[in-house]
Amino acid sequence: QVQLVESGGGLVQPGGSLRLSCAASGFTLNYYVIGWFRQAPGKEREGVSCISRSDGSTYYANSVKGRFTISRDNAKNTMYLQMNSLKFEDTAVYYCKARVAGDPDVDYWGQGTQVTVSS
C-alpha cells in the first residue's frame, strides 16, 4: 500500500520559515503529479504547489509564489516544501498528495500537518 507520511508542521511567527516533508513508502506505481494542498478554516482545500514526474515542471499558487519552494530528494524518496516569509494567511492543514495513473486515476493523501502562523 502506498503511504505518504508528513512532518514538519508547527507554530511559527510571521516572517518565519518551516520545511514540510512528505516521505513516500510502498510507492511501486509511478505518480505523475505530486504536491501540496492546504485547507484553512472556513475555506476550501486549495493547491499550493506541485511537481510533475515527467519533466519536473512546477506549479505554485499565486499566494505563495516567491515564498515557497517545492523540491525532492530522490535518494530519500521524500518531497519537501520550504516555506519562507510566512504570513497569517498561510495558517492551514497542509496535505501531501500524489496522483497515480489508473482507471480511474487514484489519489493518495498524507494525514495532514498543521501549520500555524501566529504572533
- Give me the tens of pLDDT residue by residue for the chain, a chain 119 residues long: 788 999 999 999 999 999 999 998 876 556 778 899 999 999 999 999 998 877 788 999 999 999 999 998 877 888 999 999 999 999 999 999 998 888 888 899 999 999 999 99
Interval 20-52: pLDDT, tens = 999 988 765 567 788 999 999 999 999 999 988
How is residue 97 written as a grid cell?
498528495
pLDDT of residue 111: 95
CA distance 45 to 32: 20
Which pLDDT belongs to residue 105?
87
pLDDT at 30: 65
Q: Which pLDDT belongs to residue 27?
A: 65
The DSSP line for the chain is --EEEEE--EEE-TT--EEEEEEEES--SPEEEEEEEEE-TTS--EEEEEEETTT--EEE-TTTTTTEEEEEEGGGTEEEEEE-S--GGG-EEEEEEEEE-SSS-EEEE---EEEEE--
Strand pairing of 18-25 and 92-100? Answer: unpaired
What is the length of the chain?
A: 119
Dihedral (CA of 86, 56, 94, 92) sign: positive
